[in-house]
A and B are shown apart, each in its own frame.
Chain A
């Protein structure tokens, strides 16, 4: 059954050749501009009589004819104290993550970190808005079944349970804003031609979170983490299989160094996308600095 497209194309076969002289826009697409003349729109052109309105000499926005205006009455408010120092983690639900895996926007056969999530195109964050990474929420807790090696910036207990129940592995890691600039737009960063920076340690109020095994922090002791995995399985009531027996063990065990931003690339390297080469420093001083 032919649709309107087919009908239109068939019609065109018997109509004159479409050229520059017989094309036009849809009726109603262009509205003629009305000039301000005569009774309506003319005379005072919508400005009224005398006063600041007609003389185009308006009071500035917020001015209250002399008394202390509202925007100057309160020099500051306590509710936003320290807002410029607070870290924000835009949320990504487990449901959304599962959808990305289903739609092949994220490759579960490789470790999934912040770079992979941003490159999927379905998660946006901006570093200048004090966004520090992914906060994985528990919406989709019941349906999550993807076995992935996941690295996020914030994950609560039920979220960690959902991922480990599916056979995957989750780590929480911190990235400082300079590293995030490199992560958010990798192509733009490589084109800048500066070496891959070292990842900085988390600030004082975050170090406890990223060092605790209960949060699967990247600075925590791996043995403690395996104990916590077992404890969580007991708490949420699922069977925790031995990770060593898993066929994807090598993929699931991959972790980044605390100073590393990208998998497989060390800090200090410069990636040249045009010539497809990597420049590595051989200077001792630089190697010592980047290895520390």
Chain B
């Protein structure tokens, strides 16, 4: 291989011949063709900078940031926006970046345990936990077992109470 590479500088003017003789090693620097000017392109083309057309291109690209929902009178899908005047409340549940309530159902790997997790809680989390427990207890036979993580700001309730808690929070305006 090194002998061929040493031979190649002399055969550079006859690349086709060397190729035919099988002397070209495509992965080596010495055997690779030198950079040449590109001939005029075979196909004619024009470059346009029309802003109207670029509007169409911009429509095709996804947005960088999740858009904010617009204010409407009603939302037929059942989605409720968060109320505006919640700064005086003792606790606050911040919506996630998709503008949904941060309430999730966690199912374990064996699908034997379900828990409801309510995240992004700011303010008095203990008061919120008490209110949720008082709301859920009369509706269900099983006792409401819940875990509060004050520092991380989440409440975990053992069982599937996602819809119930969602209803409770939506009534409050969160």
A is bound by B: yes
Q: What residues make up the interface of A, taking CB atoms closer than 8 Å to B?
A: 1-5, 8, 95, 98-99, 101-105, 110, 115-116, 119, 121, 140, 143-146, 186-187, 190, 262-265, 270-271, 273, 276-283, 286
> In chain B, what residue has the closest Cβ to A4?
B150
> Can you list the 7 inter-chain pairs with the closest CB atoms, starting with the nearest?
A264-B56, A99-B77, A119-B62, A98-B77, A102-B75, A145-B76, A4-B150
Q: Are A8 and B151 within 8 A (Cβ)?
A: yes
Contact with A along B47-68 (1 / 0, CB 8 A): 1111001111101111100111
Q: Which residues of B115-169 are within 8 A (CB) of A?
A: 121-125, 127, 150-151, 153
Q: Can you sample 11 A-B contacts with CB below 8 Å?
A: A4-B150, A8-B151, A103-B67, A115-B60, A119-B62, A144-B76, A186-B60, A186-B62, A190-B57, A265-B56, A278-B57
Q: Are A277 and B48 within 8 A (Cβ)?
A: yes
Question: Inside 8 A of A278's CB, which chain B residues have their CB?
Answer: 47-50, 53-54, 57
Task: Give chain B nearest CB distance to A257 CB in angstroms.
Answer: 14
Tell me if B44 is interfacial: C-beta within 8 Å of chain A: yes
Question: Inside 8 A of B47's CB, which chain A residues have their CB?
Answer: 277-280
A107–B11 Cα distance when bound, in Å, is 63
Task: Give chain B nearest CB distance to A154 CB in angstroms.
Answer: 21
Q: Are A121 and B62 within 8 A (Cβ)?
A: yes
A268–B78 Cα distance when bound, in Å, is 43
Q: Are A264 and B153 within 8 A (Cβ)?
A: no
Partner of B76, one of A102, A190, A263, A286: A102
Max count, chain A CB within 10 A of own CB: residue among B45, B46, B48, B68: B45
Question: Inside 8 A of A145's CB, which chain B residues have their CB?
Answer: 76
Q: What residues make up the interface of B, taking CB atoms closer than 8 Å to A?
A: 43-50, 53-57, 59-63, 66-70, 72, 75-79, 90-91, 98-99, 121-125, 127, 150-151, 153
Partner of A3, one of B54, B61, B98, B124: B124
Question: Inside 8 A of A270's CB, which chain B residues have their CB?
Answer: 45
Task: Give chain A nearest CB distance to B49 CB in angstroms.
Answer: 5
> In chain B, what residue has the closest Cβ to A186?
B60
Partner of B44, one of A5, A102, A115, A283: A283
Q: Are A276 and B77 within 8 A (Cβ)?
A: no
Q: Are A143 and B76 within 8 A (Cβ)?
A: yes
Known: A3-B125, A262-B56, A283-B44. A103 touches B76 (CB 8 A): no
Q: Are B125 and A264 within 8 A (Cβ)?
A: no
Partner of A119, one of B55, B60, B70, B91: B60
